[in-house]
Amino acid sequence: MTSDSSPDFYSAFENKYRGSPTLVTERLSIYLPFVLPLAQAQPALPWLDIGCGRGEWLKLLTQHSIACQGIDMHQGFVQACQQQGLHVQKAEAIAWLQAQPKQSFLGLSGFHIAEHLSFQDLQALFQEAIRVLVPGGLLILETPNPENLLVGASYFYLDPTHQRPLPRQLLTFMAEHAGFARFKHMGLQEEARLNAAFAQNAKTDPEPLQLIDVLAGVSPDQAIVAQTPMHLPMPPAFEEAWQQHHGVSLHELAERYEALQKSKWPSEIQAQLADQERTLHALRLQLEALQQSKTWRLANLFRQVYRALRSLLPRS
C-alpha cells in the first residue's frame, strides 16, 4: 500500500520484485483452507483486501464466488483492478476502516502492507479489524519474515517504502492484545527441499544443508491469521487448517545443520560425545535429587540465616 508520490517507479518495482500475477495467485491459495469454509458458513458477507495492488487475491476470491472489495492508495493499481471488473477504490486504509459499520466484513486481508505502516497505524489496523469483522471473522496479514537473516538484514530494505521489520512475536502479541480469540503464525515461501529435509534421517539426507541454508533458508515471508471470538462451531475442514504446520524456522534449520555436521565426525568422536552426554545427564539427575533432599534444604536454610546475621553486624 503506497502513496502516489512516485507511481511509475512503484508499479515497475512491484512488477519486477513482487512476482508474476500467476505466481502470486498460486502463493495466495495457501489461505483458501481458512477462507472457503468460513465463506460457506456466512456467504452473504464480503471480504475486504487492503492494499489490494494488482488484485490477485480479489480475483482468487471472485473465482470461488466470495463477495469482495479492495482499497489501495496507488491510482494505477486501482484503475488496473477496475478494468478487470474488480470492486476497488482509492482510499487510505485506517481512515476508510474507521468509517465502516461495526461487524460488516467476513474477513480482512493485507498482503505486504503491514511493513509500510507506522506502528501507530498498525495498532489502529488491528483495533479497527476487530471492530469491523463479524464474530468468527478472519484477519490475514502477510509480511517479510526478519527471522530469515538475509531478509532481515538486506532484502527487506530493498523496498524504500518499508518502515521496519515485524518479528513474529510482535505480530502475535498485537493480535492477542487487540482481542482476537486465536491466531496462527505461518512461515511462507521457503524452498520445498528444506521442508522435505526434516523428514529425512541426518545420515541419509540426499541434500545436506549448507551454511547458506541456515542464513537464508528460513521462510522469507510470514503471515498472521487471527480470528475474532465466535459462538458457533466451524466445519472440520476449517479446524484442520489451524492444525497444519507451515514454514521453516531458524531454530529448526540451525538444529538440522548441527546434526548433519556431527554426523560427519568419526565414529570414535561421536561415541565419546554420546558418553559425555550420558554422564552429564546422570550428574544433572543426581544434582536434582540432592537439591530435593532434606539435608540440602536444611543446609540452605542455615546459609540464609548466616547471610542475614552477617548483614546485621557492623562493618569494620
CATH number at residue 178: 3.40.50.150
Enclosing domain of residue 105: 7-263
Which residues, including other chains, have CB under 8 Å from residue 247's CB and lie 6 or more apart?
186, 187, 188, 190, 218, 219, 222
Report the alpha-carbon distance of residue 64 to residue 247 in Å, rounded: 26
Q: Give residue 299's pLDDT.
A: 77
Q: Are residues 126 and 237 in the same domain?
A: yes
Q: Give residue 195's pLDDT.
A: 78
Q: Are residues 305 and 159 in the same domain?
A: no
Q: Are residues 85 and 234 in the same domain?
A: yes
- Is residue 255, in this structure, part of any structural domain at all? yes
Q: Give residue 232's pLDDT.
A: 74
Q: Are residues 259 and 286 in the same domain?
A: no
Please give the model's pTM, rounded to 2 decimal places.
0.79
* pLDDT less than 70: residues of the chain: 1-8, 10-11, 14, 196-207, 265-266, 268-270, 315-316
Q: Are residues 197 and 237 in the same domain?
A: yes
Q: Give residue 204's pLDDT.
A: 47
Chosen domain end from 240, 263, 286: 263
Q: Give residue 105's pLDDT.
A: 97
Q: Are residues 149 and 272 in the same domain?
A: no
Q: Are residues 170 and 290 in the same domain?
A: no
- Is residue 2, in this structure, part of any structural domain at all? no
- Is residue 59, in this structure, part of any structural domain at all? yes
Q: Are residues 64 and 125 in the same domain?
A: yes
The H or E element spanning position 185 is strand 182-188
Contact (Cβ atoms closer than 8 angstroms) between residue 116 and residue 161: yes
Report the alpha-carbon distance of residue 267 to residue 262 in Å, rounded: 10
Report the alpha-carbon distance of residue 251 to residue 236 in Å, rounded: 31
Q: Are residues 186 and 273 in the same domain?
A: no
Q: Are residues 258 and 201 in the same domain?
A: yes
Query: Which one-letter DSSP state was computed for residue 64?
Result: T
**What percent of the chain is helix, strand and coil (3-state, nearest 5)?**
55, 15, 30
Q: Which three cell numbers stand for residue 106?
A: 467476513
Report the alpha-carbon distance of residue 162 to residue 112 in Å, rounded: 10
Number of structural domains the chain divides into: 2
Q: Give residue 285's pLDDT.
A: 84
Q: Are residues 104 and 140 in the same domain?
A: yes
Q: Are residues 97 and 175 in the same domain?
A: yes
